[in-house]
Chains A and B, each alone.
Chain A
Amino acid sequence: MTSVAVPVRVTSGPLRVSVDPNRARRVPGSVWVFLLGVAVVAVASVYTVRTGTNLDYGDARAHLAIARRITDSKQPGLVQLGSVWLPVPHLLLLPLVQNLWMFSSGVAGCVLGALCMGTSSAALWRITARLRMPLLPRVVALAVLLANPSLLYVSTTALTEPVLVAAVLCTIAGLAGWATSHRMLSGGELAVFAGLPAAMGVLTRYEAWALALAGVFFVVIVSRRKGRTWRASIVWAASFAAPSAVAVAWWLAYNTAVFGNPLEFLTGQYAAAAFTEVFEREGQLSTKHNAGLSAAVYGRAMLETSGLAVMVIAFVGLALTCWRWALDDRALVVWLGGATSAFLLFSLVSGQHIMVNDAALPPGAYNNRYVLSAVPWLALLTGLAVSHLMALVGHWREWLFVPVAVAGAALVAVVLVAQNVYWAGDPGGRMTIIEEAEAQHAEYVVMRESAHWLRDHYDGGDVLMDQTPADFSLAPDLGIPIRDFYTRAVGGLFDEAVADPWSHARWVMMHIRPIESGGTDTERDLVSDALADDPAFHAAYRLGYSQGNVGIYRRVEQP
């Protein structure tokens, strides 16, 4: 007796449909590229952690402190997220800073940055596949991303740019995958693969809000082009936007619940607007309502961050893309990469953002790292320049295809090497992001030494200290569990401790003389304001350490 064996299919699997590998779900090499991105930042981290430069940025230290305060505080909980910064980077850092060493050394930021760079690299790799770029231009794009020293440096810190870049690239990769898929992927998939990264970005930095908005238009345009109805197009757009909308709603609800004001993050005393107001009052917000200066400042930041040669090649790539692809779906994907830059430029002109560099009036180095969100776009455009040239030459003389590809890739390699050699000659002078880091490093030397003294001599008993002023954002350097501190972040407990330090804290660290500042409340040291001239305090506490205007006091106790 023979069994039935009609050879309809050879396994229990489905009938397989032939799929273009660049349009398939899995993009070969994504995992390896992810690992490469992680490895590159890991190597960079070894250098920055050993030199301590990964903690140069005050904001980086503050991000680490906020993340740890959620669990390590006299008043733990999500309320510690505050409203100054959007919450996703802190939530991502949360598990990493649970280890005190990873927190105080800043390694937590390195780990997050490495994972973000790995994610960014893989996402860029996938975008280039969706755009059907040949292998060599894809490698070129990846190289431009991974060989950017400013981005690498920031990826070793706890700053928010790596998270933003990863979210932006994942969003674009998701949208590109959706737009180029063989079949129209569902709204759910669009929400997960593009909407969720967009929502992560939306709760990371405001630049991503522009990308989310651009993404909505992108989805509508692409689906209409695919012959879908308006209703279907709107459903897809809503699917993409839904996670971001939920994220924003949650953020508003959080601000309402914690601060009683849904727009606390915009209008509160610690909001960015309060800072720009101070800058404007001091006449330093020269980019506001000045499109030319804004463009110059932005261009300067890009120049010192990406290098002239890469910018030129990227511009060529953009021009060729406009010429060859006009505004087809692939071109729209490319333009999505510029959404954050457009938003940044707009916010400089409208006075929402501050950026200071040698092109600014007055010159300086402040917030130039914002342009890092444009680096992936430049990388993509650089790869596209090579890709377009290969296609054009290949069209003209087929045999020239490979030589042109190799020559193009070699040219970019030479450019990258030369650019990095040039930057290495004077990092602080030629790269504005490094310049700002070095400036803050120098500014904080005294503070960090003071922090280390307290760390070495601390024998328990809690510390009263206002860590809100930028120069006192020292939690990682202190290396002491944050629950031992009375800071502004513990609300009423801080006020009680300031009113009665003797009953609360064995140690007090403050500015010996109150800070003279016409800036925001965040620049004031409330402990110093209350205790610096209080004789009762000085009778109860003895100055144990002082350097410059920093004093560390210990409670006088019976031996």
Chain B
Amino acid sequence: MTTGSGERTGVLAVVPDGATRDLAPLDVVDLPGNRLRPPAPTELAPEVRRRLPDVELTDTTVDLDAEPPDRDLAARVGHRPCLFHGWVPWRLDETGDVATLVVAAVGRPDPESFAGVRELYAAGRVEVRRTTPTALRSALAEVHREVLLHEAGDRLATRFPRLSARSGLTTWQRWFPAVLLVALVVGLVRSPTTAIVVTLAVANLLFVTNVVFKTVAVSLMPFRAAHRSRQQLEEMQARVEAGLSPQWAALPPEDELPVYTVLVPAYDEANVVETLVANLSVLDYPPDKLDVMLLLEADDEATIAAAQAADLPPFVEVVVVPPGTPQTKPRACNYGLSLARGRYAVIYDAEDRPDPGQLKEAVAAFRRDQFEQRHGLTSKPPLAVVQASLHYFNADYNVLTRMFAIEYAHWFEAMLPGMDVTRLPLPLGGTSNHFDVDLLRDLGSWDPYNVTEDADAGLRTASAGYRVEMMDSSTGEEACAVTTSWIKQRTRWIKGYMMTAAVNLRDPWRFARETGPLGVISMLGLVAATTLAFLAYPLALALTIATYIGVQLVGLDLPAWLTEISVTTFVFGNLMMIVTTALVASWRYTWRIGIFAVFGPVYWLLHSVAAWRALHQVLFDPHRWEKTPHGLTEDYESAAHV
């Protein structure tokens, strides 16, 4: 057991008090005492210690699949404490003088973990029998099925309906596009030129806003590096002057590292199970501290079969998510999070190739923040999420993957670090975001109704007064190599951005109050302007082309100021994006990738297609999840990213 500073405390208080006996399972879940992290040692009353039952460890094994725990008995203790301490109440033997609670446990549970047993079961003795981690988790999943499904699907919407996308757009949000459309049509009928001028002016404004936001963010990236370097040197100097070693040991000894949960949601990806094992096997983390869950949907028989047939390492467990709605990745992740044993958790896609040291780096980042917060060494909000950068290992598979790689390089290597400097709320990437599990649960976990649960979680984290930080570690992903699939994937992402903006702006003033000016800038400059700019891009492009080959071609008689400003901003905006993305991608990969940035204007047209699809879906099918296929580039033979 570790506290924020990583010391072993050996302290726990695992069960709610006796009053919880009659509570419904849902209530049990949300009791403060049911948190994974135990209270500090001082919180454990001496009388509780005195009431610890007698504990007998046996070598008897229990097959929980054949003989599942007594449901009523097991349900009295929340699944989280059970997972954390590695035991589940199995039987209650009341035949003797003293009632004996028989538990099925993994390893040798800490006797103090039975502190509440006497009150909860009126048992003065505990008999510990052996079981396997997989069997324990399966048993708990079965016992707490309803709770887990609620947590996975509707917990956020129930507890914080204002923050959930379950109810979709509000009435005014649903009608807003229609009103705009009607206004445009009326304008075109009454005064076509004015309507076109206004539309194009707005389109250009959005485009410029988006470009300026991104360019400013990118230009701040070098300052971040310089600031970090300076800070590091100052710290080293101060430590040396204080007679300490120059560098602070961020990590504890390996046997004191916290358990780390790795969530790997997969659907219809039987072909990548083997790859998953290979990729996660290189993680530099003690295997007994790794809690890898391959989250599979119940109806995905092929992947389940492949996973069961695969020779999975002991730290990888197949967790089948029961059927339910919405059947989305965040729902699966929420289910996995409920069953997580780790202090920290990260999401990886099945084909992801994380840097081997990424988990340790994340632990170090959290530990450092905890130390700084505890000693008042920082004015930053507490750290809730550490985001690794993402790159594509199949970057030069085809033109689309190159463009995708360029975009990701710009996003993860330049923009997000640049935004990090300004402390703007950061939208998270789809994978490789490392969470403090308890904080994530407090924040409501992921929104299963939001198709970009990552971006939403990032902004929700900022709203709740926490922060997201970029880490100097990267994960290789597989870029989507098929245009139709890419458009579907991007439709989902942009739709998620739209939903995230819609959810957060249901009450704009409240959002502004909660997040402050930085949150507003992030929401408007990044989330809203990005999506709107993609919608407007074809208009601006058409105007530029028409202007260059002669406006008279399309019979437009636009004011000179509009065409000049539009063409200038559009040409320079595109040039700015091309140059910055080319530089960043060349730095991240090679110039052979970076040079493809010249095709950015065409690539952004694909974004526009996706954006218009997204708008349609937001209005008519907001929760639709268009799955991105993986493992399509297995014949990849290059190594551009190396």
A contact residues vs B (CB 8 Å cutoff): 1-6, 8-9, 11-14, 16-17, 19, 24-25, 78, 182-183, 185-186, 188-189, 191-192, 250, 253-254, 256-258
Contact = CB atoms under 8 A, between A and B. Distances in A.
Nearest to A257: B550
Interface string B273-297: 0000011011111111010000000
A186 B400 CA distance: 9
Given A12-B355, A78-B548, A186-B400, A5 B282 contact: yes
A9 B642 contact: no
Interface stretch (B41-49, B190-198, B390-398, B427-435): B390-398
Contacts of A185: 398
Interface stretch (B238-246, B610-618, B632-640): B632-640
Contacts of B133: none
A321 to B, nearest CB: 28
Given A3-B285, A4-B283, A186-B481, A258 B550 contact: yes
A186 B394 CA distance: 14
A114 B306 CA distance: 58
Contacts of A250: 549
B553 interface: yes
Nearest to A193: B399
Contact of A186 (B282, B398, B641): B398
Contacts of A13: 393, 476, 639, 641-642
B398 A14 contact: no
Contacts of A189: 398-399
B282 A8 contact: yes
Contacts of A188: 398-400, 483
Given A3-B285, A4-B285, 5 more contacts: A6-B282, A12-B474, A13-B642, A191-B399, A253-B549
A311 B122 CA distance: 104
A196 to B, nearest CB: 9
Given A6-B281, A12-B476, A186-B398, A1 B286 contact: yes
Nearest to A184: B635
Contact of B282 (A9, A24, A183, A253): A9
Contacts of B596: 192
A250 B548 CA distance: 11
A22 to B, nearest CB: 14
A1 B255 contact: yes
Contacts of B286: 1-4
Interface in B414-470: none
A19 B287 CA distance: 36
Nearest to A186: B398
B356 interface: yes
Contacts of A1: 253-255, 286, 288
B575 to A, nearest CB: 13
By CB atoms of chain A within 10 A, which of B394, B396, B397, B638 has the most? B638
Interface of B: 253-255, 278-279, 281-288, 290, 313, 315, 353-356, 393-394, 396-400, 474, 476, 481, 483, 548-550, 552-553, 596, 599, 635-639, 641-642
A185 B402 CA distance: 13
A192 B592 CA distance: 13
B353 A12 contact: yes
A522 B548 CA distance: 27
12 contacts: A4-B284, A6-B282, A6-B313, A8-B281, A12-B474, A14-B394, A17-B636, A182-B635, A186-B397, A186-B400, A254-B549, A257-B550
B585 to A, nearest CB: 15
A17 B282 contact: no
List the 4 shortest-distance A-B pairs measured between CB atoms, nearest first.
Answer: A257-B550, A188-B399, A6-B281, A186-B398
A25 to B, nearest CB: 6
B287 A17 contact: no
B313 A4 contact: yes
Contacts of B396: 25
A182 B483 CA distance: 21
A8 B253 CA distance: 26
A182 B253 CA distance: 48
A16 B639 contact: yes
B290 A4 contact: yes
Nearest to A258: B550
Contacts of B553: 253, 256-257
A261 B131 CA distance: 85
A511 to B, nearest CB: 34
A496 to B, nearest CB: 22
B529 to A, nearest CB: 28
Nearest to B394: A14
A11 B642 contact: yes
A16 B635 CA distance: 10
A3 B481 CA distance: 34
By CB atoms of chain B within 10 A, which of A2, A12, A16 has the most? A12
A289 B129 CA distance: 101
A14 B284 contact: no
A153 to B, nearest CB: 31
A421 to B, nearest CB: 42
Nearest to B403: A188
A257 B288 contact: no
Contact of A257 (B281, B285, B287, B549): B549
B637 A192 contact: no
Contact of B637 (A4, A12, A16, A257): A16
A14 B282 contact: no
Nearest to B638: A25
A166 B59 CA distance: 79
Nearest to A16: B639
A19 B635 CA distance: 11
A3 B255 CA distance: 10
A221 to B, nearest CB: 22
B99 to A, nearest CB: 38
A4 B287 contact: yes
A255 B639 CA distance: 45
A186 B638 CA distance: 14
A13 B637 CA distance: 11
Contacts of B313: 4, 6
Contacts of B550: 254, 256-258
Contacts of B476: 12-14
A323 B402 CA distance: 41
A183 B255 contact: no
B355 A8 contact: no
B278 to A, nearest CB: 4
By CB atoms of chain A within 10 A, which of B282, B552, B596, B638 has the most? B282
A242 to B, nearest CB: 11
A122 to B, nearest CB: 14
By CB atoms of chain B within 10 A, which of A3, A191, A253, A257 has the most? A3
Contacts of A14: 353, 393-394, 476, 636, 639
A185 B549 CA distance: 34
A8 B313 CA distance: 13
B23 to A, nearest CB: 39
A256 B285 CA distance: 67
B278 A9 contact: yes
A393 B370 CA distance: 76
B109 to A, nearest CB: 20
A257 B355 CA distance: 55
By CB atoms of chain A within 10 A, which of B354, B356, B550, B636 has the most? B550
Nearest to A191: B399
A2 B287 CA distance: 8
B254 A3 contact: yes
Contacts of A192: 399, 596, 599
A226 B400 CA distance: 23
Contacts of A258: 550
Contacts of A16: 637, 639
A3 B280 CA distance: 12
Contacts of B281: 4, 6, 8
Contacts of A186: 397-400, 481
A254 B635 CA distance: 43
A19 B637 contact: yes
Contacts of A182: 635, 637
